[in-house]
Amino acid sequence: MTLSHPHLPTTESAVRAIREIAEEYRLTCTVSEDIGADRTSRRTAADAFGALDPDGTLPHEAFVELDGTPAVGVRLYAEDDARITVDHVEFHDVPRDAVPAFLRSVYGGLAHTRGRFFPPGLWLVVPLPGDTVYKELVTSLHPTPWLLRNSREA
């Protein structure tokens, strides 16, 4: 399936793209949305109890949960970025446009873990098309079976 949304200018279009990926990989997708500066989590420019930003726009955030292996949560912010959590490993400040490629890497088998004895650590590595790679430390003392199963030598 080809995404019909190569550029994701809005939270709504990003949610649509994530739903397409969930359908492609046969995952259950749950979406909760917060609309308005009085309901979104990162709005500091709006007046107290105001629903609109100073420029008159209505900010829109969404949280999408994808059930499956691995478990993934995507928090889409109104500022064109996202926080993606993969089996309790958080990736902050992922550009909204990169979310579909990130999810395809995770569910398509490209994401993997790398560990080292010195300095010690297990990292979740998510490569995207081109030269973009996201890498976060697995801080859990008990990594999930999916994280351990997708290990590659450092």
- Return the bridge partners of 75, or none: 63, 83
In a domain, 34, yes or no: yes
Alpha-carbon distance 11 to 20, whole Å? 14
The beta strands (E) that lie in 6-110 are given as 28-35, 60-67, 72-76, 81-86, 89-95
End-to-end distance of the chain based on CA atoms, in angstroms? Answer: 33
Q: Is residue 28 part of a domain?
A: yes
Flag whether 133 is in a domain.
no
Whether residue 85 is contained in a domain is answered as yes
What is the sign of the dihedral through the CA atoms of 96, 144, 149 and 65?
negative
Give the residues across from 72 on adjacent strands: 66, 86
Give start and end residues of each alpha helix (H) in 52-98.
none
**How confident is the model over 11-54, as pLDDT tens digits?**
888 999 999 999 999 999 999 877 555 555 554 554 555 554 55
> Looking at 60-69, 90-99, 128-137, which range is the least confident one?
60-69
pTM of the entire predicted model: 0.81
Confidence bin at 119 (pLDDT 50/70/90): low
Q: Domain limits at 84?
A: 11-109
Q: What is the pLDDT of residues 67-92, one digit of tens each?
A: 989 999 999 988 889 999 999 999 99
Nearest to 11 by CA among 63, 88, 71: 63
In a domain, 24, yes or no: yes
Residue 91 domain-assigned (yes or no): yes
CATH number of residue 41's parent domain: 3.90.1150
Instruction: Say if 69 falls within a structural domain.
Output: yes
Residue 154 lies in a domain: no
Could you give the number of structural domains in the chain? 1
